Structure 1
């Protein structure tokens, strides 16, 4: 893996659709192409002025350029305002995050559900896994696992399952 080190200015979009007021750093095409040949987003790990980052998403901006959004917690730790420069060191983190082990076990207990889940792309599998893992209580987590298994039995994708659950509420 190639480690890229460079200086980047903290920027903020004024008017830019759903990215209005986002704070970010730009990763120019000459640097992003060393990290990954993807024209779609990918994740990186590294350092932003001493702040360690892991599996942070880069978002395509066009022309081979990407942006790395700086959320509020990141900005507070960096302690620099828009217009200041930071030192960046990053590598592509192409290893997908692991899927929730309890979800996988429950899906494997139902061969039909597991077979359906296995046909999903890795990103669609992660929708289910992230949803389960984000539950704040054991009760909610168990319900989400049950809903996910049920969705696989019905051959639903994540969006269909969420829409069906909203109709019930």
Structure 2
């Protein structure tokens, strides 16, 4: 477990990370969490007193990582760019639970299932978390259909999101 203070930062222009709010996990702290790790891994803990789990730290080179602060984390902590936040975290090695509804649908399409299973577990989780975060059954159904179509087309999560936004225009 590591404990430290971090400044809330925001990428102005950084490819697909443009506009992201995040905190930096220095190499010294990351090395205490997962010695020698240079790839993304999941953590759990608290930002100030706001608890979180199953969040991915993203590598930024030289051994440092970032933790993106999504709207839920920003709202839960009440923090914005420039604020200091108390960080307490440890590795979260629990297996991610995939959407049972998605897995049921994938069973009916072996090619889509094959593609989905070829994805890294963290990428499978992007689809699953997006589906399970739906607030209504209609939205969940729509997201499953989009995911099934994306798997049939061998699209990544980000490719699927981009193509669905282009379709809506």
Name the TM-score, length of structure 2 as normaliser.
Answer: 0.69
- The 8 Å contact of residues 8 and 84 in structure 2, kept in 1 or not, is answered as no
1:63 to 1:133, Cα distance in 2 relative to 1, 3 A: same
1:12-161 alignment runs, 5 A limit: 12-13=9-10, 15-17=12-14, 23-36=21-34, 37-71=36-70, 73-75=72-74, 77-78=76-77, 85-152=84-151, 154=152, 156-158=154-156, 159=159
What SS does the aligned partner of 2:96 have?
coil
- CA offset digits 1:20-70 (Å, max 9, x no partner): 675543322111012123323322111222221212332333321223344
Of the structure 1 ranges 135-144 and 28-37, higher mean CA displacement relative to structure 2 is found in 135-144
CA deviation after TM superposition for structure 1 residue 97, in Å:
2.5
**CA distance in structure 1 between the partners assigned to 2:12 and 2:80 by the alignment:** 19
1:98 to 1:14, Cα distance in 2 relative to 1, 3 A: closer
CA deviation after TM superposition for structure 1 residue 104, in Å:
0.3
Q: What value does the CA root-mean-square deviation take over the aligned residues? A: 3.6
Of the structure 1 ranges 60-69 and 25-34, higher mean CA displacement relative to structure 2 is found in 60-69
CA deviation after TM superposition for structure 1 residue 101, in Å:
0.4
Query: Of the two, which has the highest radius of gyration?
Result: 1
What residue number does 1:163 align with? 163
CA deviation after TM superposition for structure 1 residue 82, in Å:
6.0
**Structure 1, unaligned stretches of length 5 or more?**
none
1:163 to 1:8, Cα distance in 2 relative to 1, 3 A: same
**CA distance in structure 1 between the partners assigned to 2:95 and 2:132 by the alignment:** 15
Question: What number of residue pairs does the alignment pair up?
Answer: 165
1:65 to 1:21, Cα distance in 2 relative to 1, 3 A: same
1:16 to 1:110, Cα distance in 2 relative to 1, 3 A: closer
**CA distance in structure 2 between the partners assigned to 1:146 and 1:61 by the alignment:** 34
**CA distance in structure 1 between the partners assigned to 2:123 and 2:133 by the alignment:** 16
Name the TM-score, length of structure 1 as normaliser.
Answer: 0.69
**Structure 2, unaligned stretches of length 5 or more?**
none
